[in-house]
Amino acid sequence: MTKEYNPKSIEEAVQEKWESNKTFESKIDDREKFYCLSMFPYPSGKLHMGHVRNYTIGDVISRYKRMQNYNVFQPMGWDAFGLPAENAAIENKVSPKEWTNQNIQNMKTQLKSLGLSYDWSKELRTCDESYYKWEQLIFKKFFDAGLVYRKKSMVNWDPVDETVLANEQVIDGKGWRSGAQVELKEIDQWFIKITNYADELLESLDDLDWPENVKLMQKNWIGKSNGAEIKYQIIGTKDFLTTFSTRPDTIFGVSFLALSPNHPMSIEISKENEKIKKFLEVCKESKAAEADMAKADKLGIDTGIRAMHPITKEEIPIWIGNFVLLDYGTGVVMGVPGHDSRDFEFASKYNLDIKQVIQSDRTEDLPILDKGILVNSDKFNGKTSEEASKEIIQELIDNGYGEELVQFRLRDWGVSRQRYWGCPIPVIYKNGEPEIIDENDMPVILPELDDGAAPVPLSQIKDFVELGNGITRETDTFDTFMDSSWYHARFTSAGNSKQIFDENTKYWLPVDLYIGGIEHAILHLLYSRFFHKALRDIGMIEGDEPFKRLLTQGMVLKDGAKMSKSKGNTVDPQSFIDKYGADTVRLYMMFTSPPDQSLEWNESSVEGASRFLNKVWKLIEGKKYIELKIDDLKFSKDDLALRRKSHATLKKVQNDYEKRFGFNTAIAAIMELLNFIPEKFKVDELNDSSKFCLNEAIVFILKMLSPIAPHICDQLWSEYEYDAKNIESWWPEIDESLLAIEEFELIIQVNGKVRGKINIEVNKSKTEIEELAKNVDNVKSHIGSVNVKKTIYVENKLINFVV
């Protein structure tokens, strides 16, 4: 009597066996390594379906690679610092540390219930001092290498909470917590010189096996621009305003200059001009982000000061515009409203001159954004934009009004955050002068909060800040992107309290496959690439890139929309694991859609996945492997058909796992093989030849399905007793000779309608095939005595008689 398939008891038993045997702990050996890493989660307390999909994808690939005899390393940890923990701590009246650690415990239990083959001995959490002490050391090393500096920067300031707010915390110009009107304030912050690596970050993208759209997003973010720095003399002074332009061919169309409200000249003028002072105060209430500036109404004020055009010598008005950012370019924009949408909007609003200096074949309507032929541009008329740009730059250089310049959109990385729950920045101030603390004094430990006390910025914790003798601590903490920019490297040496990196790091890096959402395409992935290159240059690690291959998985949708609490369309993974088992949930996630595309959640399809696993169970449970020598066997036609199907399926699944990550088509092929097995093979009384073929099909099904549904396959493998090895210890070999086609099914049509099918040996000639097809009874009756006007033959597939 076949036992019932009970996922809960099987999965618990198999997971216990894996844990007690330390099955997935990784050590250096002489095999080829494979480091598979899924982006570690923020410990929110509960897994969501996006987590389940992401981590199952990584686990399927890791398990398959083990079967291919790779030495696989698949760790897991927690991106544990950050603002959500502070907010939750306030709401739940617990410390961020307590809240975070409890959430980690809950989520770790859930991850284990999914049967993910993680090396938990290398677990990391970024909020542990054993982790962030090394982050502080990296900061010191970067400082020593000239990659760190401190400068004033504009931030969103909440005057009631006395803290900096992220752009997303500013709601309708007010602080999300206090409701106070947010101000733009200039404060000292720490920066890391990512711009030193702009060229390399751009150029080495071509060497990465990453999705093209992700590489393009990074290219655009880095934003390399070739252009000119152009100087405009302020009339009545010897001073100049400097602008950067990628379109020097439009210089004859400049009708105004616009300063950033935070430009030193704007601030200086406001001291003497009440109107301008009030305008700058209005600008301070706006968000500081580039994206927000682009959407905001274009506001400006005329300073009354004029500049001289460097070529025409005409007077140009100098305005202050709320759309000009100080930290992009020079903080001064040359306004060319005839050929720039933003400048056109601004000039139209304030009745400034709009000049056409470029002619385009595509449109006559201003603004014309295309390059084209110059008009109204003096001696440059009739030249192309490319020709004129070179000559105009040369004229500016010759007359001392400019130079050719390469500029990047990428800005240095401001890493200071005025938060409690983050890694303390290892700096002290002696009489106001900053010093990085000595390595022997690290880590600077985040101070514990009193029970029930709400987290506050470190600046408000006196015992932490004041060290005596006029020495104070830095009160900012690091941006959490600092924590996640190097975790991939620390995983390799986790547990080593003496060294940040060791021989394991050299062995395991780079990550062979990195898996995560496309929303991380720019910041996290760019910062991680920078960190890796900077760590390389200071001799801490080797290699040029952290992640060889990147897989960006699609979202999990319900009712056509991304799952979210606000939409009320979330699905709790644990309830489905409890109801159907982890293997069913994993199988459903991998079968429903290719990994890089969105997946629409559908419970009836989950039930379908469960039914398939039950079919696998019923076929194999209770059977034992019988060793038979192939040389002693004589295979029937049905035997050979099953063998061919088994090996063809193995080849397809191997290709899907290896090259395409086509887990959905791999599962479909396994299902097809299961359905292909004739009913007569499922009886107890079989001859040895048929037993051999069924044995082979069973072994292949378990091996191919094991990466996706590991618990049921592990259990059935143990019971089947093929060998004493772990099911993941080897992968079957494909017998290519069985894949050679000896015969094929020919579809026979008469006037385009199917009238019959026949199996034909591949060595038959076209004439022989025609005769065989005409002699099929149903075909013969439709052709009759009528002449065949035309015969269309598609090799090894179809023949059509036109009568």
Digit-coded pLDDT (tens) for 439-498: 999 999 999 988 777 888 898 899 999 999 999 999 999 999 999 999 999 999 999 999
Triad 676, 679, 680: Cα angle to 5°: 120
DSSP class of 178: T
Q: Which of 98, 94, 58, 126 is nearest to 491 (CA)?
A: 126
Instruction: Say which range, 287-296, 302-311, 386-395, 716-725, has the weakest mean pLDDT.
Output: 287-296
Average pLDDT estimate for 540-568: 87
Instruction: Say which range, 205-214, 319-328, 560-569, has the weakest mean pLDDT.
Output: 560-569
Res. 743 pLDDT band, cuts 50 70 90: confident
pLDDT score at 695: 94
Average pLDDT estimate for 783-789: 86
**Residue 735 CB burial class (10 angstroms; 0-12, 13-18, ≥19):** middle
> Which ranges in 210-352 belong to alpha helices (H)?
212-222, 264-270, 274-284, 290-295, 341-349
Structure tokens at 595: 């990994």
More confident of the two residues 584 and 561: 584
> Which residues are part of a known binding site?
565
pLDDT score at 374: 98
d(CA 146, CA 192): 9
Asked if residue 57 lies in contact with residue 664, where contact means CB atoms within 8 angstroms, the answer is: no
Report the DSSP pairing between strands 373-374 and 332-335.
unpaired
Instruction: Say which range, 335-344, 374-383, 529-538, 767-776, has the weakest mean pLDDT.
Output: 767-776
Res. 1 pLDDT band, cuts 50 70 90: very low
d(CA 224, CA 408): 4
pLDDT score at 519: 87
pLDDT, tens digit (0-9, with 9 covering 90-100), for 126-146: 999 999 999 999 999 999 999
Q: Which domains does the chain have, with CATH numbers?
A: 151-183 (no CATH), 224-408 (3.90.740.10), 573-739 (1.10.730.10), 743-802 (3.10.20.590)
In the chain, the percentage of residues whose pLDDT exceeds 90 is 74
In the chain, the percentage of residues whose pLDDT exceeds 70 is 97
d(CA 762, CA 603): 45
**723: helix, coil or strand?**
coil
- Give CB contacts under 8 A, 24+ apart, made by 386-393: 386/249, 388/248, 388/249, 389/228, 389/247, 389/248, 389/249, 392/228, 392/248, 392/249, 392/251, 392/311, 393/228, 393/248
> Which residues are part of a known binding site for ATP?
565
d(CA 546, CA 543): 8
539: left (phi over 0), alpha (psi -120 to 50) or beta: left
